[in-house]
Amino acid sequence: MITTFISLLLFFERALADLGDNVQAVISKDNAWLEIKHDPSLLDHRPPPPDDSYLSSDSVIFVSLASLHDWRCGRTLHDFFAKAEHPERIIAGVVTQNKPSTKDCIDVMCSLFQGNTKDDKPDPNLPCPHKDQVRIIRLSHSEARGPNVARALAQTMMEDIPPNSYCLTVDAHSFGMEKWDSEILKEWGSADNEMAVLTTYVGTPSLVGKNVAGRKEVPHLCQGAFDGEFPRNIRATAAHWLKKPILAPLWGAGLSFSKCHAEINSPYDPHLKQIWTGEEYGRGARFWTRGYDLYTPTRPIIAHDYDPIDDQKGWTHDRKELKSSTVRLKSILRYPDGRKDENYLSELGKYDLGMERDLSDYAHFCGVDTQKQIVYHDYCIDYEWVPWNWREEVLNSYRKLTWKNDEPMHEPYLSRIERYDEGAYDFPGVKKEKEEIARIQTPNIKKVMAKPLQKASEQSDEEIIPILSMPPNSGRILIGPIPWIIFFIILCSGFTIVIAHHAKKGRRERKKD
């Protein structure tokens, strides 16, 4: 009886430990789950609240794509337009850097919309839905100089994007969930911060919109290290049961979603030619010191195709350019051997760090210090918001900002921007007749989904799919007070059963006597 009771207690202890797992947490030091308790929006001095534009179906989303001889660029455009709840509000700025053999991004998109494959040429006599919402700069692969230059050029196509719009940067081989546009806006709004930047290393298409591991697990960027001269993100670890986006210390290029004023205030630096390692840390530091906060989303809304294609770093390498860019990035990140003269630093302008928060504070926040070139910690913690003195009038001025092509390095490329809307897209915001909406969306054209996503979309939204990562003590350290109360009740009940059993046994023995 006692053995059975102990076994029962052990069973309930394990079950209750799993119940305790229904708490938002991240994998931290020693591969253990750490509960996330800090919510910046509950502070007295809190981040600036957002306006309600994320609730509007008229809010424009500018999607930035930089593609290096990758045919999947067209598949990404097709996927994003086909799955958007309000595709008329999506504008894409695309930079392709193709070899002669690479399939054209627009051709692939149009071919898929016309019900054909990526290998077919689109029929010029058939409509190509949403083509008028794409702007593109076509470079040859020999003109490529690395991701910073390409992504900076994509931003040049934002010039007529309305103020207070939203900007999404993804890789050219991405996918979205159904109604991704509305879902990512709601996700941004739930961060409750006008200066929020949603960012992480996104998962594969099979994870989109799913309950990963049965605990709503998502990738979380919090581990950095030096790789050569500059810091890099080591990998994404895991977070689960997030009630709302949580603070993250590092920025990832595969997903960045924010108000466009973040990209206007802290744009990609076209002077950082040849830079690969250091791109992400540099962007994160610049955002953060300008008052922007990085957040991990609560669920997989965007996905990434991780199947490799040939020569993905195959741009034209130039050691002289790399040397100059290295000095520039070191100066921005205040390396001891970076340039310190005031004239040089002042000329960095909008590409420099911000003044709202200090770089040394960011170093302690994210764990990687470029000034001292040391790592304070390389594991996740419960990050606490670092205050800055925001003012409502400044935020309102941010909401009125629009992009201006005032960078001299961009000048030779502006004439190479190709548009299919005759230079003036009819942005949403004004009520349109149903016939015009139908013209924009062209529902008579078959929307052909990528085959892997067709299969995924047939699955239930609550389907449990394989875990991303789980520490060996998972489910055994986050036991809240309620489970322990239940455990105490069960324990008392167990002792009552044991006492009653012994009393009954004693009565039977007395009767025998």
pLDDT at residue 464 in the model? 42
DSSP three-state, residue 474: coil
Q: How far is CA 402 from the centre of its chain?
A: 23
Secondary structure tally for the chain: helices H, strands E: 15, 21
DSSP three-state, residue 61: strand
Tokens describing residue 387? 């205050």
Task: Mark the ranges of the chain whose per-residue pLDDT is less than 50.
Answer: 1-20, 430-488, 490, 498, 510-513
pLDDT at residue 315 in the model? 72
Phi-psi region of 228 (alpha: psi -120 to 50; beta: other; left: phi over 0): left
pLDDT, one tens digit per residue, over 406-454 is: 999 999 999 999 999 988 899 987 444 434 434 433 333 333 333 333 3
- Superfamily of chain region 40-420+430-455: Spore Coat Polysaccharide Biosynthesis Protein SpsA; Chain A (3.90.550.10)
pLDDT at residue 249 in the model? 97
Task: State the DSSP code for 59.
Answer: -
Distance CA 420, CA 428 (A): 17
Distance CA 391, CA 217 (A): 36
Distance CA 211, CA 177 (A): 13
User: DSSP per residue over 281-316, as a string?
Assistant: HHHHHHHHHTT-EEEE-SS--EEE-----TTTT-S-
Cα distances (angstroms) measured from residue 447 to each of 246, 381, 451: 35, 44, 12
Beta bridge partners of 211: 464
Maximal CA-CA distance, the chain:
109
pLDDT at residue 313 in the model? 59
Sheet hosting strand 33-35, strand order edge to edge: 33-35, 25-27, 236-240, 218-221
List the chain domain ranges.
Answer: 2-37+474-512, 40-420+430-455
Token pair 């009940």: residue: 493
What is the reported pTM?
0.82
Tokens describing residue 359? 């770089």
Distance CA 189, CA 244 (A): 10
Nearest to 129 by CA among 141, 112, 117, 116: 112
Torsion of CA 377, 148, 130, 124, to 10 degrees: -140
pLDDT, one tens digit per residue, over 22-52 is: 899 999 988 899 999 999 999 999 999 999 9
